[in-house]
Chain A
Amino acid sequence: MITANPAPEAGTEARTGSTPVRAPRRRKKRQLLPYLLLLPVVVAELLIHIVPMFIGVGMSFLGLTQFFIRNWTKAPGAGLDNYRFVLQFDEASGKALLHSFWTTIQFTVIVLALSWALAMAAAVWTQHAFRGRGLVRTIFLIPYALPVFASVITWSFMLQRDNGMVNHVLVDQLHLTDERPFWLIGDHSFWALIVVEVWRLWPFAFLALTAGMSSIPAEQYEAAAIDGAGVLRSVRFVTLPNLRSVNQVLLLVLFLWTFNEFTVPYTFFGKSAPEQADLISMHIYQNSFVTWNFGTGSAMSVLLLLFLLAVTAVYLLLTRKKDVDA
């Protein structure tokens, strides 16, 4: 939703900019048409996004448990109780939420850094034509094309302690450790989840960066080469500056996706994730659907929404300033 905003705005600006010049007299009539055309989108947007969002916010102020899901209107008002309960950081539930929040932040930062670095390296490598480039690009995109469920389940099989391929290679063939490590539970589960998430996510970043790079004029690289720039210098002074706007959007999208990631941990761990890899979306799921406490689940969701809105706003503000400077 947030990321989709810039495009339609740019479109309407262009259109309204041209109409008054052509027919100033029939301005009123003409102005109606764009709104009429927008109407279906507005209605759909209201029904699909805005209304459920407000219902969600409303729910967070209700004591909505299984006693009342049949008739929401009878649920007692809870005021700020749900929020108070969620934010009691000296109590077990608040501590668990805070822990989950920190885990998610660490997870997001690491996944973002690894995915972007991997995608950037791969995109630079395949930027200039060579034999078999199409094949390499296709192979890189495979994880993105596979259905999430099938690929993540395969990962979880590979990471099983006794029969998994990973331990077979590490322990039986390479003899790196004597003790078979656990990957799906305990401390390692956090890193196992990161590997799977990066594997899922980086092809998208690769795709976006490759598309961005294809629009950089070849002359700039030629000029850089004439000035004696090597690969690293031309990446730094030609590629990266040209990719600024792509990166701005890409990092934001990757951030939002990773922070909200649900499908991957849910498929990977099942209904309850190990403490060490308890991402916030899983945590909220457990607190609303599994324990039937929709009020507190909604309160957590609203807090999460506010946090993501704040991060997005600050990020856009900071990056926009740089655009003006440049």
Chain B
Amino acid sequence: MRLKRITSAVAVSLVAASLAGCGSNDDSSGSGSGSAEDVTLTYWASNQGTSLANDEEVLKPQLDAFTAQTGIKVDVEVVPWSDLLNRILAATASGEGPDVLNIGNTWSASLQATGALTPFDDATMAQIGGADRFLAGSLAATGAEGQPPTAVPLYSLAYGLYYNKKMFAEAGITEPPSSWEELVEDGKKLTTPDHWGMSIEGGSVSENIHNVFVFSEQQGGSFFDDGGKPTFDTPENVAGIKQYLDLVQEDKITNPSNAEYANGTEALADFASGKSAMVMWQAAAGSLDQLGMDAADIGVAPIPAPTGAEDVASIVAGINLAVFDSTDHKQQALDFVKFMTSTPTQISLNKTYGSLPAVQEAYTDPAFQTEAVETFKGILDDKAVPMPAVAEESQFETLVGTAVKNMLAQAASGTVVTEQAISEQLDAAQQQLGG
């Protein structure tokens, strides 16, 4: 008898426990209902500085200013990039997440599809100062077309071609390359026993996919059609990937060893230490300074397209700011978004991080009137394309990026990857997308 009672008690408590685990997002996050004074927002910041501690240092004065203005406290946690997406997914599944968070802007459409982030419809947008304030290109990369965005741009970034002015001068080259053919030609001149023409982060899935996406856009290719259906295996996409692989296998201006560079810093380190003369990178002035490269040697130009191709130089890169939809403090969260995208905050943070402000007004600051910033702003305004705004974006990045990584490994070990082989790999990647 007693045993029976105990088992039923256990069963009841188990059910209760699992129910509590599933559905409660209304009590535990935040401090419940109270006046604005005792609200504490949880903010997940992405790693923009040189370390997580550095980020906290950079953000602290801004957050203190926000608290002084509004009385709302902000509890910041800097999440490393390797964990951020998994943490967001876990928070989405459980409903227990931060109030405000950073996302990589290429995840925008995928995260929008989960429904976990608050949509910025016109009314919400008006609350944070209106959509017109933002750079149009960056705002375009905040979600699928035709739906209200679920994030706003915070830090804008673009790819540029960094080149070593000193090495260029020594090789008798006066101007950065204006076409891809010229780049390859310069690269050949700059490939000597001491250094290589170009370094790439060839083992990194994300760098690979960003590069080949730009090259395929130059060729007029597309990985998804207008209806959002995948179209991986097209002659244009094959040509784009071939252009990238040829750096190693045909032009031989990139060290084959670059195929194993996977931690996201090695290609840039090679450039900074003079082992390569060019590198395609997102705003890197801060990192190059840290790596000890002389600022006078650093030049930036748009990544050139092949002659006659579309003049695309970069993806629209950057970090977006989003509000978690299950927050108990939506109003305060929006106040915080407004503060983070306000002109003074934008100037201060982007100056420190070496990224570009996401709002037009901030560019009046002298800090953003340098040659490098103007180059990047020019790229973002005219020559940057957003990554596909489809829900399968993350899968696409992983599948194609991994395929490129494997093909690059093959090219590096001396086997030439033919157009036929690229086409087969793309076909296989697309098949894995379904399911």
Contact = CB atoms under 8 A, between A and B. Distances in A.
Contact of A291 (B255, B395, B413): B395
A63 B412 CA distance: 39
A96 to B, nearest CB: 7
Nearest to B408: A185
A85 B435 contact: yes
B398 A290 contact: yes
B114 A69 contact: yes
Interface in B110-152: 110-111, 113-116
A272 B391 contact: no
A32 B2 contact: yes
Nearest to B13: A43
A86, A92, A185 pick with most chain B CB within 10 angstroms: A185
Contacts of B260: 160-161, 182, 184-185
B191 interface: no
A67 B406 contact: no
A160 B203 CA distance: 12
A3 interface: no
Of the listed residues B14, B401, B405, the one surrounded by the most CB atoms of chain A closer than 10 A to its CB is B405
Interface in A157-181: 160-162, 180
Contacts of B410: 186
Interface stretch (B211-219, B370-378, B424-432): B424-432
Contacts of B17: 47
A60 interface: no
A191 interface: no
B252 to A, nearest CB: 15
A36 B6 CA distance: 9
B96 to A, nearest CB: 12
Interface residues of B, number: 48
Given A160-B260, A185-B259, A270-B203, A43 B10 contact: yes
Contact of B431 (A47, A92, A185): A92
A70 interface: yes
Contacts, number: 113
Contact of A70 (B18, B92, B259): B92
Contacts of B115: 67, 70
Contact of B394 (A184, A290, A296): A290
A291 B114 contact: no
Interface in B411-435: 412-413, 427-429, 431-432, 434-435
Interface in B1-50: 2-3, 6, 10, 14, 17-18
A95 B431 CA distance: 11
B398 A272 contact: yes
A85 B432 CA distance: 9
Contact of A185 (B6, B205, B409): B409
A66 B405 contact: no
A35 interface: yes
B342 interface: no
B262 A270 contact: yes
Given A70-B95, A93-B435, A162-B255, A275 B406 contact: yes
Nearest to A286: B398
A182 B3 CA distance: 64
A286 B260 CA distance: 19
A82 interface: yes
Nearest to B264: A270
Nearest to A182: B413
B113 A66 contact: yes
A200 B423 CA distance: 39
Contact of B391 (A67, A269, A274): A67
Given A66-B113, A70-B95, A92 B428 contact: yes
A289 interface: yes
Contacts of B429: 92
A82 B260 CA distance: 33
A113 interface: no
B160 to A, nearest CB: 25
A189 to B, nearest CB: 8
B412 A67 contact: no
A109 interface: no
Contacts of B405: 272
Interface in B66-110: 86, 89, 92-93, 95, 110
Contacts of B287: none
Most buried by A among B110, B394, B428, B432: B432
B10 A39 contact: yes
Contact of B114 (A43, A67, A274): A67
A133 interface: no
B86 A289 contact: yes
B263 interface: yes
B212 to A, nearest CB: 15
Contacts of B317: none
B114 A92 contact: no
Given A36-B6, A70-B93, A274-B406, A182 B435 contact: no
Interface in B359-410: 391, 394-395, 398-399, 401-402, 405-406, 409-410
Q: Which of B3, B114, B412, B427 has the most CB of A within 10 A?
A: B114
The 6 closest A-B pairs by CB, nearest first: A92-B428, A185-B409, A92-B431, A291-B395, A85-B435, A272-B402
10 contacts: A35-B3, A67-B114, A93-B435, A182-B257, A182-B259, A184-B260, A270-B263, A274-B409, A290-B398, A291-B432
Given A67-B114, A70-B92, 7 more contacts: A70-B115, A91-B431, A96-B428, A270-B203, A272-B205, A272-B398, A275-B406
